[in-house]
């Protein structure tokens, strides 16, 4: 299987249906989910076992060496983000991780900046686009007309204190989260 065998995620599908389709796909690809949150106000995420990093990278990023891409050898966490049409993740940044993203379903925009000022019109990205997000860079994933799907890899910048979901500095959030 490959990225091309991912189920097509149209606006007509409900989140529960998509979650079921994705779980089936992950199982078929022998990707072990170690954490998931399907109750996010913007969609859902699935985190995978670091032991599956090579398989995850091959499936979703193609033939790249993640360690060389980041120029370091630290802990990595592979993850899938599902973003609902018309919803946005927080305008955010992180202190203890960089991120590498690839667009799996092409109905997303991604806002990136070095400061707290957001774009008036975030650029759209296409299936297969790869985006590197350094530590402290502001970023926001935005769902457009259909469900969006992004694979991401966290590169922890501090091996003694790896990043986690608490390493999110929210500059702006549509759901009132701090």
Tell me the per-residue pLDDT of 119-160, one tens digit each, with 9 for 90 and over. Answer: 999 999 999 999 999 999 999 999 999 999 999 999 888 888
pLDDT band at 1 (very low <50, low <70, confident <90, very high): very low
Query: Would you say residue 73 has pLDDT above 70?
Result: no
Can you list the pairs that 57-64 forms with residues at least 24 positions away whose Cβ atoms lie under 8 Å?
57/153, 59/1, 59/2, 59/3, 59/29, 59/31, 59/151, 60/3, 60/102, 60/104, 60/151, 61/100, 61/102, 61/130, 61/151, 61/153, 62/128, 64/130
In the chain the domains, ranked by start, together with CATH numbers, are 3-172 (2.60.120.10)
- Residue-level pLDDT at 98: 93
- Among the residue ranges 73-77, 92-96, 98-102, the one predicted with the least confidence is 73-77
pTM: 0.92
Q: Is the pLDDT of residue 2 over 60?
A: no
């Amino acid at each position: 299987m490959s990225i091309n065998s991912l189920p097509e995620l149209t606006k007509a599908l409900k989140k529960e249906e998509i979650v079921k389709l994705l779980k089936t796909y992950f199982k078929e690809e022998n990707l072990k989910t170690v954490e998931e949150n399907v109750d996010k106000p913007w969609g859902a995420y699935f985190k995978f076992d670091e032991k599956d990093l090579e398989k995850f990278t091959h499936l979703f990023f193609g033939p790249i060496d993640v360690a060389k891409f980041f120029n370091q050898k630290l802990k990595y966490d592979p993850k899938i983000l599902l973003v609902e049409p018309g919803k946005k993740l927080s305008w955010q940044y992180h202190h203890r991780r960089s991120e590498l993203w690839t667009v799996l379903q092409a109905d997303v925009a991604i806002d990136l900046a070095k400061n707290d000022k957001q774009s008036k019109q975030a650029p759209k990205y296409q299936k297969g686009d790869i985006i590197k997000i350094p530590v402290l860079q502001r970023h926001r994933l935005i769902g457009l007309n259909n469900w969006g799907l992004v694979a991401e890899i966290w590169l922890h910048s501090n091996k003694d204190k790896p990043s986690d979901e608490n390493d999110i500095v929210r500059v702006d959030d549509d759901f009132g989260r701090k």
